[in-house]
């Protein structure tokens, strides 16, 4: 006689507690148990309590797959960030998750490494998972991605930018306006010879591109348009900030103000300036963008733009929760950034204009 394969699959030893088990123990129908869990207010209080007790006794937790299948909603949201290595994204994701968690949602996370193809793949995977909402970063997305979202008819919101094309709502700051304001501030200080360090290498990094445009526009308006050699492109590493500054000062030794599109780059630039024996801000003013924790602790503290990352994360969560529930939602939310004037910026040494320090908004 042939023996049956007795190799017990080890995955399913524990017979999972089902709603029916609870129902039997409590002498009610599964329907009632379900109601206790989902609409407690329509069940008679004493019955509700009795059922609840048995639910706790048996440590029953409902099977989310079955639940999702029947109800059509997963109570799950996905987010795709370029990378988690940037504190500003990590902070936003953390706030997003916290807020979602409060509302009973769980967060899928994925990263694209600034690669639109990868972003599309991850999105595809998330949609197959049946997510109820999706959070993206930035405004640069292929049309494939947009049509995928549309086809899945999943609520979406993009973050860290003030607006996005294709009818996608956004929550974030106006990056261009922020650097324009920063540039104007430096102009007012009396600077005339500028340099810019921008992490615009990644094709999909529209934030930094917008920031660079803000710089260019402000300087053009002031009659001081940047020459190509006054703009050094970099990726988002600290080391590139160093080499960028060196290159910039090689081409334009008389530069008095360097505007970076990222704190990381600015910090790298400051490190290099120190190494080159240039006093900041006496000989060289340097500004950043993001206001990472370290910015305020630098020597000298870094002038930068503060981005409300946590608020962006929370706002994105609220937006999706409402959109999923069918509540009305704003088309876009523009959050205020904050120019943080610290001591890495000052009037240039050779300035003929009087110093005007009254503008400082920080400290």
Q: Where along the sequence are the contacts to DNA (CB under 7 A)? A: 16, 18-20, 27-32, 34-35, 37-38, 42-44, 47, 60, 62-63, 66-67, 69-72
Contacts for 287 with CB less than 8 Å, ≥ 6 apart: 182, 186, 257, 258, 259, 260, 266, 302, 303, 304, 344, 345
Q: Which of 4, 9, 39, 358 binds a copy of itself (CB under 8 A)?
A: 9
* Beta pairing, strands 332-334 & 156-159: unpaired
133 three-state secondary structure: strand
Question: Among a copy of itself, DNA, none, what binds residue 2 when CB lies within 5 to 8 Å by partner kind?
Answer: none
> How many Cβ atoms sit within 10 Å of the Cβ of residue 66?
11
Q: Binding to a copy of itself by residue 111, rule CB under 8 A? A: yes
Contacts to a copy of itself from residues 310-329, by CB under 8 A: 326
How far apart (Å, rounded) are the C-alpha atoms in residues 158 and 173? 11
Q: Binding to a copy of itself by residue 335, rule CB under 8 A? A: no
**Residue 159 Cβ, how far from a copy of itself at the closest point, in Å?**
15
How far apart (Å, rounded) are the C-alpha atoms in residues 261 and 12? 53
Show the CA angle centred on residue 225, arms to residues 223 and 230, nearest 5°: 145
Stretch of 23-31, 58-66, 184-192, 327-335 contacting a copy of itself, by CB under 8 A: 58-66
Q: Binding to a copy of itself by residue 153, rule CB under 8 A? A: yes
Contacts for 67 with CB less than 8 Å, ≥ 6 apart: none
With residue 214 as reference, give the H or E element that holds it.
helix 206-221
By beta-carbon proximity to a copy of itself, the closer residue of 100 and 215 is 100
By beta-carbon proximity to a copy of itself, the closer residue of 132 and 176 is 132
Tokens 């003030």, located at residue: 162
How far apart (Å, rounded) are the C-alpha atoms in residues 153 and 76? 15
* Tokens at 71, concatenated: 């109800």
Q: Which of 27, 101, 229, 350 binds a copy of itself (CB under 8 A)?
A: 101
Show the CA angle centred on residue 331, arms to residues 330 and 333, nearest 5°: 75
Stretch of 20-28, 109-117, 178-186, 339-347 contacting a copy of itself, by CB under 8 A: 109-117
Question: Among DNA, a copy of itself, none, what binds residue 222 when CB lies within 5 to 8 Å by partner kind?
Answer: none
Contacts for 224 with CB less than 8 Å, ≥ 6 apart: 187, 192, 194
By beta-carbon proximity to DNA, the closer residue of 105 and 160 is 105
Question: Among a copy of itself, DNA, none, what binds residue 32 when CB lies within 5 to 8 Å by partner kind?
Answer: DNA
**Residue 280 Cβ, how far from DNA at the closest point, in Å?**
60
Contacts to a copy of itself from residues 74-93, by CB under 8 A: 74, 76, 83-85, 87, 90-91, 93
Question: Among DNA, a copy of itself, none, what binds residue 203 when CB lies within 5 to 8 Å by partner kind?
Answer: none
Show the CA angle centred on residue 339, arms to residues 336 and 340, nearest 5°: 130
> How many Cβ atoms sit within 10 Å of the Cβ of residue 239?
14
Stretch of 104-112, 170-178, 277-285, 333-341 contacting a copy of itself, by CB under 8 A: 104-112
How far apart (Å, rounded) are the C-alpha atoms in residues 21 and 63? 13
**Residue 324 Cβ, how far from DNA at the closest point, in Å?**
14
280 three-state secondary structure: coil
* Beta pairing, strands 156-159 & 133-137: parallel
By beta-carbon proximity to DNA, the closer residue of 72 and 228 is 72
Question: Among DNA, a copy of itself, none, what binds residue 19 when CB lies within 5 to 8 Å by partner kind?
Answer: DNA
> Residues interacting with a copy of itself, by CB under 8 A?
7, 9-14, 59, 61-66, 68-69, 72, 74, 76, 83-85, 87, 90-91, 93-94, 97-98, 101, 104, 106-111, 122, 124-130, 147, 150-153, 237-239, 242, 267-268, 271, 274-275, 293-294, 297-299, 326
């Amino acid at each position: 006689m042939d023996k049956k394969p007795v190799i017990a699959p080890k995955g399913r030893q524990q017979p999972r507690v089902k709603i029916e088990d609870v129902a039997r123990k409590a002498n009610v129908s599964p329907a009632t148990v379900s109601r206790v869990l989902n609409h407690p207010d329509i069940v008679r209080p004493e019955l509700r309590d009795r059922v609840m007790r048995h639910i706790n006794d048996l440590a029953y937790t409902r099977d989310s797959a079955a639940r999702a299948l029947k109800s059509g909603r997963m109570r799950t949201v996905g987010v795709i960030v370029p990378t988690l290595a940037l504190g500003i994204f990590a902070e936003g994701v953390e706030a997003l998750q916290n807020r979602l968690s409060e509302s009973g949602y769980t967060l899928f996370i994925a990263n694209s490494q600034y690669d639109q193809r990868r972003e599309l793949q991850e999105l595809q995977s998330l949609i197959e998972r049946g997510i109820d909402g999706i959070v993206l970063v930035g405004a640069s997305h292929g049309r494939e991605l947009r049509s995928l979202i549309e086809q899945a008819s999943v609520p979406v919101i993009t973050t860290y930018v003030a607006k996005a094309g294709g009818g996608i709502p956004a929550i974030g700051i106006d990056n261009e306006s922020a650097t324009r304001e920063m540039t104007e501030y430096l102009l007012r200080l009396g600077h005339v010879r500028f340099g810019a360090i921008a992490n615009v290498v990644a094709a999909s990094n529209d934030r930094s591109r917008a920031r660079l445009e803000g710089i260019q526009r402000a300087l053009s308006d002031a009659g001081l348009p940047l020459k190509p050699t006054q703009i050094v492109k970099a990726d988002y590493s600290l080391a590139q900030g160093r080499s960028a500054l060196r290159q910039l000062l090689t081409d334009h030794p008389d530069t008095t103000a360097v505007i970076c599109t990222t704190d990381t780059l600015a910090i790298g630039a400051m490190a290099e300036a120190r190494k080159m024996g240039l006093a900041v801000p006496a000989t060289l003013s340097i500004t950043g963008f993001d206001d990472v924790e370290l910015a305020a602790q630098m020597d000298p503290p870094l002038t930068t733009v503060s981005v409300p990352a946590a608020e962006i994360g929370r706002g994105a969560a609220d937006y999706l929760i409402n959109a999923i529930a069918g509540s009305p939602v704003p088309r876009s939310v523009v959050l205020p950034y904050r120019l943080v004037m610290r001591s890495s910026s000052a009037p240039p040494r050779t300035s003929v204009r009087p110093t005007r320090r009254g503008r400082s908004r920080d400290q």
